Amino acid sequence: NVLHDIPVIFCVLTDNTMQQAIDRSGGKHGNKGVEAAIAAIQMAHLGKQ
């Protein structure tokens, strides 16, 4: 976050249907959980530079 050297990633899916959940977890919209994990790793690497 801004005050500390700790990356914070917040990823919550608010799906209204099962199909939306499927689409956002590896379907046509990609995997949002994986995207959040990659962002966290990238932030951790930036903090070490």
Question: Mind listing the pLDDT tens digit of every residue in the chain (49 residues)?
Answer: 567 777 778 888 888 999 988 888 887 778 888 888 898 888 888 866 6
Helix (H, G, I), strand (E, B) or coil at 49: coil
Q: So what's the pLDDT on residue 1? A: 57
Residue-wise pLDDT for 10-21, tens only, equals: 888 888 999 988
Element (H, E) at 38: helix 32-47
Q: So what's the pLDDT on residue 18? A: 92
DSSP symbol at 25: E
User: Into how many domains does the chain fold?
Assistant: 1
Domain that residue 16 falls in: 1-49
**What's the whole-model pTM score?**
0.63
